[in-house]
Structure 1
Amino acid sequence: MPKTTDNGNAKKEELPSTIERSDKKAQRTYAKAHDSAVESYGEGRRAHQTAYSALKHTHEKVGDHWEPKEGGKKGPSDEQAKGGRGTNKETKGGVDANATKEHLLKLAKKLDVSGRSKMKKKELVDAIQKANDKTTAAARKKKKK
């Protein structure tokens, strides 16, 4: 099912919940990439993965939504998003694993990750991913009520 309207805007009712809670640019990026991927690969998992990969070039997941990367920096956020077809690397769930440690520390503080000041970069990425997953699960649970 197409994720964009005839005029190119995202159909909110067709978007994953984390993208639904994100800005219009994130919604448009995901929706257009998804629709393009459906033309190439058909509807399904691959189209969604392609759309998320496109989104990870301009946005990063923060809590239960996606925010533009700091300073307008563009590029893949992890090895999976960078690799393209046939890549079988671990995704970091929207955390920009290529960001500076300073940026990751700011995100960890925003998400109230405890012990962040003593963590190495990889540990920060994993802790932020865990905090994002927890926040997203809570937002979905809240929406169901």
Structure 2
Amino acid sequence: MPKTTSKGKAKKEELPDTIKRSDAKAQRTFAKAHDSAAKEYGEGQRAHRVAYSALKHTHEKVGDHWEPKAKRAKGPSDKQAEGGVGTSRKTAGGVDANASKKHLYDVAKRLDVSGRSTMSKKELVKAIEKANNRKTAKARS
């Protein structure tokens, strides 16, 4: 089912909940990428994966929604979003794993992740992903 209207706007009722709670740019990015992938590969999981990968180039998941990346930080957020050979790698769940440790620390602080000051960059990514999942689950209930 198309995620965009004939005028190119995202159909909110067709979007995943975390994207519904995000800005209009995130909604358009996901919807247009999904529709393009659905034409190429057919409706289904692959179209969703392509759409999320496109979204991860411009946005990062913070809590229960997606926020725009800083202009200098645009690009794939993890090895899976980079694509290429071996694209069946684990994702970072929308966390910008390629961001600086300082940025990840600041996101962890906003999400009130305990123990963040002693965590490595890899640990921060996992802790943020876990906090994001908790916030998303809470938003669903």
What TM-score bracket applies, with the shorter chain setting the length? over 0.9
* Counterpart amino acid of residue 109 in structure 2: K
| 2:99 partner letter | A
Specify the alignment match of 1:38 in structure 2. 38
With the length of structure 1 as denominator, give the TM-score of the two structures. Answer: 0.95
* 2-structure distance, mates of 1:47, 1:72: 27
**Moved segments of 4+, more than 6 Å:** none
Report the Cα offset of residue 74 of structure 1: 1.2
C-alpha distance in structure 1 between counterparts of 2:52 and 2:91, whole Å: 11
Give me the identity figure in percent: 72
One-letter code aligned to 1:136: T
Aligned residue number for residue 118 of structure 1: 118
The alpha-carbon distance between structure 1 residues 39 and 9, as it changes in their structure 2 partners (threshold 3 A), is same
* C-alpha distance in 2 between matches for 1:86 and 1:38: 22
Name the counterpart of 1:16.
16
Q: CA RMSD in A?
A: 1.0
Counterpart position of 1:90 = 90
Equivalence for 2:4: 4
Figure out how many residues of one structure are paired with residues of the other and give that number.
Answer: 141
Contact 2:30 2:55 in 1 (8 A): yes
Residue of structure 1 in register with 2:104 after alignment: 104
Unaligned regions of 5+ residues in structure 2, if any? none
* Match of residue 29 from structure 1: 29
TM-score, length-scaled by structure 2? 0.97
Could you tell me which runs of 5 or more consecutive residues in structure 1 were left unpaired when the two chains were aligned.
none
